[in-house]
Structure 1
Amino acid sequence: MNASSPAAAPPAHPFPYAVVIGRFQPLHHGHQRLIEQALRVARRVIVVVGSDRQPRSVRNPFTLDERERMVRACLHGQAEQMRVSVAGVGDSPYNDQLWIASLQQAVDRLIAQDGADPAHARVALVGHLKDASSYYLRLFPRWEFVPNEAVQSIHATEVRQLYFDPERRGRIPPDALPEGTASFLAQFAESADYAALVEERAFLDDYRDKYRYAGSEFPPIFTTVDAVVVEAGHILLVQRKFQPGRGAWALPGGFVGQNERLLDAAIRELKEETRLKVPVPVLHGSVKGREVFDAPQRSQRGRTITHAFFFELAHNQWTGLTEVRAADDAAQARWVPLAEFLDMRERMYEDHYFIANHFLGGLGKN
């Protein structure tokens, strides 16, 4: 090529693919800027929505479909809509490697659907390293990190605090959020789901005020126990009668008494909530494992560390599953086939699905 020849035009997008990761609970201006940056640097954008298949709570109020609606509402025109794919990935609070693998698989599937080879595709990971909570952006060395400048805007946690405040009834300054998000939140505030979340928020506020240490800057740390009980391919679950998480399914369990050992507390709560017809000495002999679960955000009530015990009961084929009956603060108690349980993530309370799945050998689908 001689000196007078025109230089080749640079490609319209440096990357064929870009990934944006977030919970989008809800989508705010910072999220929108990340997606806009991804659209500038890549031909195709994959928005990975975390905390998929969680029951509604004040921390995770919106479903994957609702968050995809917010994502798509911030896009401009049909061309951008066609360039953006949205994939949901569930949490794995006690196994980062499982979460990483699930996220990589979701992205690889979409790349493969394009007819490209995921192993050789050049992928940008667009994000903002704001604080320790952004550590996940360093967990994907195969992708090239593309930083984005911080945007001065209200954060999702602040939005939820304002939105579910019983006094505000969902009102947020209209310019605080992207138009599509503000419109969605205005509609959602008229729903029964919103009313239930406001009620839960009021309960949690009262709970934290009641149990705050007087005169101390340090909030309390609670200790609880949970029982994972299996028999003949079934797991014993209870349905919660009260807030928080009213109506969700959970492992039998509760708070440790002042004068109790952990296993004794787990058996007491198990018997109180399910009236399980198994003698206490037999339960002691049925313990097959125990583990501590301490994810800082595992409970909305405050920092709560739970000690879980795994009970494997002998099964009598002539009498059937051991009799149970709901009592105490359980609305229902029932034996759930494990195959059914594995599809119950969005109906399980807090991290109880992951606790049970830990003892079940990772059978659950992410």
Structure 2
Amino acid sequence: MSTRKYQYAIVIGRFQPVHFGHQRLIEEGLRAAERVIVVVGSDRQPRSVKNPFTFDERERMVRACLRGTEQMRVSVVGVGDSPYNDQIWIASIQSAVERLIAQDGHAPAKAKVALVGHLKDASSYYLKLFPHWEFVGQNSVESLNATDVRSLYFDPENRGQLARADLPDGTAAFLDQFTRTADYAELCEERAFLADYRDKYRYAGSEFPPIYTTVDAVVVEAGHILLVQRKFHPGKGTWALPGGFVGQHERLQDAAIRELKEETRLKVPVPVLNGSMKASHVFDAPDRSQRGRTITHGFFFELAHNQWTGLSEVRADDDAAEVRWVPIAEFLDMQERIYEDHFFIANHFLGGLGKN
């Protein structure tokens, strides 16, 4: 007969990478419950300095923190982000957890479940979004946090300051191997670009960093969406919505159409584009862009289709590696290749068709 208080303990995090604080939460979950479900967030995101490691890589790091006898008591599941709708994100986690409980032959509604976490600051607000699970709070652990680890790790000049003893053995071993990959070199380039970018555009002598204003165009025609492949950092190689920064003397919709025309050479007259604009929305998640606080205004254009001439002609600008019309069904499976939050911006206008 088990003396553990709970049947299941839930640990939620991004684990980018796994550090001693994460390890302590999982260990506490194992002490408190028969089984632990580790929910790995930001699943299906393209590699970036903020989210450098895939779900499979993070699961490997999680499992490397476990003793052999614990492996069978831990399940690891991935859940995608939903930056503009907490309810979708909450439902995704609830569904993932309930599926695993049901697979064990238990009724999810009757299972005794704990949510193990540490309320460190405002970023931990998500721990209060699951009132049907009993919250088990933990004290902080003296260790490098994931942001500090990434900051040192992807800066080759300062990587030596990150000692193996600063991280769990499994994480340290994984990071050592990852330094020998092309992905690591690419992420180091991106980190250097972002550091230079922030240094150039900060307000000298001001305590307030700049807030950028951008526009993005969601353009659809006959079941296709128009995407550009980024040629340069940040997000080099990922697919994005056409868009960019607003000029000093531009209105927002004018800027969206200008950027759309410049990046894609879309052969649709400006008056027709203005008449095809169906909706707009502001996307302001504070961490949506790695370049700094950036608020974007999305514009949705639905083009009339001429079945005799086919999809409207497009051609990549010098700043884009490629531009193409992508079937919407294909787009919905491209989340891990879409830049920043553009997948969610598009889905706002497409009616939330995206998979989560």
Q: Supply the distance in 2 between the matched residues of 1:105 and 1:338 (Cα, whole angstroms).
A: 25
What residue is the counterpart of 1:190 in the other structure?
A: 180
**Is 2:69 the partner of 1:90?**
no
How far did 1:169 drift? 4.6
**Amino acid aligned to 1:358:** H
Q: Supply the distance in 1 between the matched residues of 2:161 and 2:300 (Cα, whole angstroms).
A: 45
Q: Supply the distance in 1 between the matched residues of 2:12 and 2:182 (Cα, whole angstroms).
A: 29
How far did 1:166 drift? 2.9
What residue is the counterpart of 2:341 in the other structure?
A: 351
Runs of 5+ consecutive residues of structure 2 not aligned to the other structure: none
What residue is the counterpart of 1:62 in the other structure?
A: 53
Look up the SS of the partner of 2:347 in the other structure: helix
What residue is the counterpart of 1:209 in the other structure?
A: 199
Q: For 1:69-80, what aligned pairs fall within 5 Å after superposition?
A: 69-77=60-68, 79-80=69-70
1:364–1:101 distance in 2 versus 1, CA, 3 Å: same
Paired residues, what number? 356
Q: Supply the distance in 1 between the matched residues of 2:95 and 2:183 (Cα, whole angstroms).
A: 32
Question: Which residue of 255, 264, 277 maps to 1:265?
Answer: 255
Question: Which residue of 11, 15, 21 maps to 1:30?
Answer: 21
Q: Supply the distance in 2 between the matched residues of 1:75 and 1:239 (Cα, whole angstroms).
A: 40
How far did 1:124 drift? 0.5
How far did 1:329 drift? 1.1
Q: For 1:205-244, what aligned pairs fall within 5 Å after superposition?
A: 205-244=195-234
**Amino acid aligned to 2:50:** R
How far did 1:13 drift? 1.1
Question: Which residue of 128, 133, 149 maps to 1:143?
Answer: 133
Q: For 1:237-256, what aligned pairs fall within 5 Å after superposition?
A: 237-256=227-246
Question: Which residue of 35, 40, 50 maps to 2:41?
Answer: 50
CA contact (8 A) 1:166 1:202 kept: no
Look up the SS of the partner of 2:285 in the other structure: coil
Please identify runs of 4+ aligned residues in structure 1 that moved more than 6 A: none
**Amino acid aligned to 1:163:** Y
Q: Supply the distance in 1 between the matched residues of 2:174 and 2:125 (Cα, whole angstroms).
A: 30
Look up the SS of the partner of 1:99 in the other structure: helix
Q: Supply the distance in 1 between the matched residues of 2:272 and 2:203 (Cα, whole angstroms).
A: 39
How far did 1:328 drift? 3.5
How far did 1:168 drift? 3.0
Q: Supply the distance in 2 between the matched residues of 1:274 and 1:189 (Cα, whole angstroms).
A: 36
**Is 2:111 the partner of 1:158?**
no
Look up the SS of the partner of 1:124 in the other structure: strand
**Amino acid aligned to 2:139:** E
How far did 1:345 drift? 0.3
Look up the SS of the partner of 2:77 in the other structure: strand
Question: Which residue of 300, 304, 324 maps to 2:294?
Answer: 304
Look up the SS of the partner of 1:48 in the other structure: strand
Q: Supply the distance in 1 between the matched residues of 2:43 and 2:249 (Cα, whole angstroms).
A: 39
Q: Supply the distance in 1 between the matched residues of 2:54 and 2:330 (Cα, whole angstroms).
A: 21
Look up the SS of the partner of 1:51 in the other structure: strand
Q: Supply the distance in 2 between the matched residues of 1:335 and 1:68 (Cα, whole angstroms).
A: 35
What residue is the counterpart of 1:280 in the other structure?
A: 270
Q: Percent identity?
A: 79
Q: Supply the distance in 1 between the matched residues of 2:164 and 2:309 (Cα, whole angstroms).
A: 62
What residue is the counterpart of 2:12 in the other structure?
A: 21
Q: Supply the distance in 1 between the matched residues of 2:12 and 2:48 (Cα, whole angstroms).
A: 21
CA contact (8 A) 1:170 1:186 kept: no
State TM-score, norm by structure 2: 0.99
